[in-house]
Amino acid sequence: MASIALLRTCSRGTQCLLLRVQSKAGVLSHETANKIFTTSSTMGALDYFRARRGPFTPEEKRGSGHLMMASTHWKVERVVAVAMVGIMPACLFVQGPMMDHLLTTFVYLHGHWGMRGVLTDYLVKFVPWIQYLWYVISILGFAGLINFNFNDVGITKAIQMLWSI
């Protein structure tokens, strides 16, 4: 509750310093652009943690440099999620290196995207760098899982061992 109150407080006010996605020239008139992105220099540090509020241009919503359309990504996410409905129960019956890699890849991809969605919903508008930190954490974590499957007992065996305590 406290964090929600804090975030709400931070988001009050019209000013914002989150200039991560600068609008493309020609999309907005100069006047409009200034109106949206105006910031005061005195409250700079506080403004940094204020939420960027709308409206967002279609270009800003789409972002730049993506490999696929958002809708395609959404479909890929669902394919992974649907596959997990089969993979996770299968792990109860079949264990081994193939299952280890299948489970870690699907669960980790799903978790990475899910967490990225949560960060985008709640935190990116306050602290935009958190999404890059999340990529670093995700890559390290996945490296750890691959290492665990190749050089240690493997995830399915590990869960079995843990559960037999």
Contact set with other proteins (CB under 8 A) = 4, 8, 11-12, 14, 32, 51, 53-58, 78, 81-82, 84-85, 88, 107-108, 111-112, 114-115, 118, 137-138, 140-145, 147-148, 151-153, 158, 161-163, 165
Q: How far is the CB of 12 from other proteins (least distance, A)?
A: 7
Write out the binding residues for a ubiquinone: 122
Beta-carbon contacts of 57 under 8 Å, excluding residues fewer than 6 positions away, are 23, 24, 27, 28
Q: How far is the CB of 44 from other proteins (least distance, A)?
A: 20
Annotated binding site for heme b: 110
Partners of 28 in the β-ladder: 25
Query: What is the closest distance, in whole angstroms, from the C-beta atom of residue 144 to other proteins in the complex?
Result: 4
Which of 41, 23, 42 lies closest to 33, judged by CA? Answer: 23
Q: Least distance from C-beta 141 to other proteins, angstroms? A: 4
User: What are the helix and strand counts (H, E) for the chain?
Assistant: 8, 0
Closer residue to other proteins, CB minimum distance, 97 or 144: 144
Angle between helices 97-122 and 155-163 (to 10 degrees): 90
User: Rounded to the nearest 5 degrees, what angle is found at the Cα of 34, between the Cα atoms of 127 and 46?
Assistant: 30
Stated as kind and residue range, the H or E segment containing 38 is none
With respect to other proteins, which residue has the nearer C-beta, 48 or 108? 108
**Token duo for residue 153:** 């007992």
Q: Which amino acid is at 98?
A: M
